């Protein structure tokens, strides 16, 4: 008797044997079998019960109302779930198809197919993560080296077409190859660093002026560079001459003018100071006129040490300092096509400037964060103040900001 029970439970070949197994499992209620319980006893997937049951209904051609019924499970919040109940006869067919040799074969083929896809996906991921170029048929060290060398030459041609040259071309190509195929030509050759062709720092006219004795305004430095035949002015831009090119570098700031033209910056080697003659007298000192609101620069008067206010000259419009490396608040607004008030609001939002003083009697100063992007410039004395200057609040110094400030707009 025991042997017969075991045979019936493991070798189901008739509808009667299927019904016996279902009833012994205790899942029959009111001569109906709940769908999810049927899937469990048949050994079918219950990860997505609704999908699995739909497949069984389609496979056997079951008819709603005759072979199965649908209802909705009560739910506390959310969408109520659908419940399927099958007749005994329909449940017997599902179990028999799942337990016969043909049913088991079909299920095993589906399992094997899914497993094969997973293995294929894992192999593809492994290939993508493998250093160098993955070529199983060319896996010898020599073959991989030849492929990587050819790819390196194409990478250098690519970055050269983008305008890179010299060490910048080599380093850019090396970073491209390392990030995309995991191969670094420089590391492979044991060269992690490249020697710069010119062992010197470069400086803006503003920085050169601060190195001179006495310190010079950047406009004066540009005039000196022009007088020395090292640069000329074309369409309001300073351009190095053939004589000046060996003494400077032209850098792309990554920004663009309103016209779409790229913003370029000329920086000079410190040795250029040996070519400059004594400073040209400054004839551009001027003052700002009084303002009527907080968003305008305060009136400019003479310095604290002056007995009389500085001589007023009207050669330059107020708040347009014409510095090569820095924008005043007005000039920054003009550059981005917005008002000075908009510029102020953005800079205050990012805590780059702060108002000091009371009411209309005050001015903007750079914050600790703001000093990373600019300096304080006194247009009446044509000199810059650093953050440690004792005359920041008493002088006519106003914030001026470099090209890096454009990232906030």
Domain spans in the chain, listed from the N-terminal domain onward:
2-104, 136-188, 202-275, 284-409
DSSP 304: T
H/E element, 378: strand 374-378
Please list, in sequence order, all residues whose beta carbon lies within 8 angstroms of the beta carbon of residue 186, skipping any fewer than 6 positions away: 170, 171, 174, 192, 194
Distances (CA, A) of 299 to 166, 201, 228, 304, 361: 50, 38, 37, 14, 9
What is the b/e burial string over 244-280, where b = at least 16 CB atoms within 10 angstroms of the residue's CB?
beebbeeeeeeeeeeeeeeeebbbbbeebeebbeebe
Distance, in Å, from the CA atom of 244 to the CA atom of 276, rounded to the nearest integer, reads 12
The whole-number mean pLDDT for each consecutive block of 10 residues of the chain, a chain of 409 residues, reads 40 78 88 90 82 88 90 68 88 82 54 59 54 50 84 89 79 86 85 60 85 84 90 84 88 60 79 76 41 36 37 55 83 83 91 81 88 89 84 86 86
pTM more than 0.75:
no
d(CA 27, CA 251): 79
10 Å CB burial of residue 215 (0-12, 13-18, 19+) is middle
Q: What distance in Å separates the CA atoms of residue 21 and residue 264, rounded to the nearest whole number?
A: 84
What integer pLDDT is reported at residue 313 of this predicted model? Answer: 44
83 by DSSP, 3-state: which? strand
Question: Residue 241 has what pLDDT?
Answer: 92
> By three-state DSSP, how is residue 313 classified?
coil
CA dihedral 272, 275, 278, 282 (to 10 degrees): -60
- CA–CA gap between residue 158 and residue 167 (Å, rounded): 15
Distance between CA atoms of residues 187 and 145, nearest Å: 13
Rounded-to-integer distance, Cα 273 and Cα 248, Å? 12
* pLDDT of the residue at 33: 92
Q: Please give the C-alpha separations between residue 367 and each of 192, 352, 372, in angstroms, as whole numbers.
A: 39, 5, 9
What pLDDT, on a 0 to 100 scale, did the predictor assign at position 237? 79
* The 248-256 sheet, strands edge to edge: 202-203, 262-269, 248-256
Residues 294 and 269: beta-carbon distance below 8 Å: no
Dihedral of alpha carbons 107, 112, 117, 118, sign:
positive
Pairing state between β 361-366 and 32-34 = unpaired
Report whether 321 contacts 377 (CB < 8 A).
Answer: yes
Q: With beta carbons less than 8 A apart as the criterion, state whether 392 and 365 touch.
A: yes
DSSP state of 407: G
pLDDT score recorded for residue 384: 87
Phi (first) and psi of residue 385, to 5 degrees: -110, 140
Q: pLDDT at position 100, please?
A: 64
Distance CA 383, CA 74 (A): 80
Q: What is the pLDDT of residue 290?
A: 38
DSSP letter at 97 equals: H
| 339 to 343, 344, 388, 400: CA distances (angstroms) | 7, 9, 30, 16
Cis peptide leading into residue 214 (ω within 30°): yes
């Amino acid at each position: 008797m025991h042997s017969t029970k075991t045979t019936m439970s493991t070798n189901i070949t008739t509808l009667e044997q299927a019904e016996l197994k279902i009833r012994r499992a205790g899942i029959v209620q009111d001569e109906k079998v709940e769908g999810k319980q049927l899937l469990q006893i048949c050994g079918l997937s219950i990860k997505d019960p609704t999908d699995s049951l739909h497949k069984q209904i389609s496979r056997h051609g079951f008819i709603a109302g005759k072979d199965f019924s649908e209802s909705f499970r009560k739910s506390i919040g959310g969408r109520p779930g659908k419940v399927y109940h099958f007749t005994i006869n329909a449940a017997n067919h599902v179990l028999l198809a799942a337990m016969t040799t043909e049913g088991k074969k079909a299920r095993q083929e589906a399992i094997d197919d899914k497993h094969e896809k997973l293995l294929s996906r894992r192999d593809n991921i492994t290939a993508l993560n493998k250093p160098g170029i993955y070529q199983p048929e060319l896996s010898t060290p020599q073959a991989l080296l030849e492929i990587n060398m050819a790819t390196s030459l194409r990478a250098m041609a690519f970055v050269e077409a983008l305008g890179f040259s010299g060490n910048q071309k080599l380093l850019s190509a090396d970073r491209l190859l390392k990030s995309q195929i995991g191969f670094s030509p420089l590391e492979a050759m044991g060269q992690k660093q490249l020697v710069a062709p010119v062992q010197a720092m470069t400086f803006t006219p503003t920085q050169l002026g601060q190195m001179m004795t006495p310190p010079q305004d950047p406009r004066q430095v540009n005039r000196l560079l022009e007088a020395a035949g090292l640069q000329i002015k074309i369409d309001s831009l300073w351009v190095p001459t053939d004589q000046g090119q060996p003494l400077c570098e032209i850098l792309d700031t990554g920004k663009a003018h309103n016209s779409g033209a790229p913003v370029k910056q000329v920086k000079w080697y410190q040795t250029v100071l040996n070519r400059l003659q004594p400073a040209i007298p400054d004839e551009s000192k001027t003052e700002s006129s009084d303002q009527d609101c907080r968003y305008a620069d305060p009136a400019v008067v003479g310095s604290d040490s002056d007995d009389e206010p500085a001589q007023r000259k009207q050669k330059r419009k107020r708040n347009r300092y014409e510095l090569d490396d820095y924008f005043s608040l007005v000039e920054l607004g003009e550059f981005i096509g917005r008002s000075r008030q908009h510029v102020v609001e953005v800079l205050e939002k990012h805590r780059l400037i702060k108002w000091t003083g009371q009411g209309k009697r005050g001015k903007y100063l750079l914050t600790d964060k703001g000093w990373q992007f600019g300096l304080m410039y006194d247009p009446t004395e044509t000199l810059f103040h650093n953050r440690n200057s004792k005359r920041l609040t008493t002088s006519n110094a106003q914030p001026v900001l470099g090209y890096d400030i454009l990232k906030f707009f």
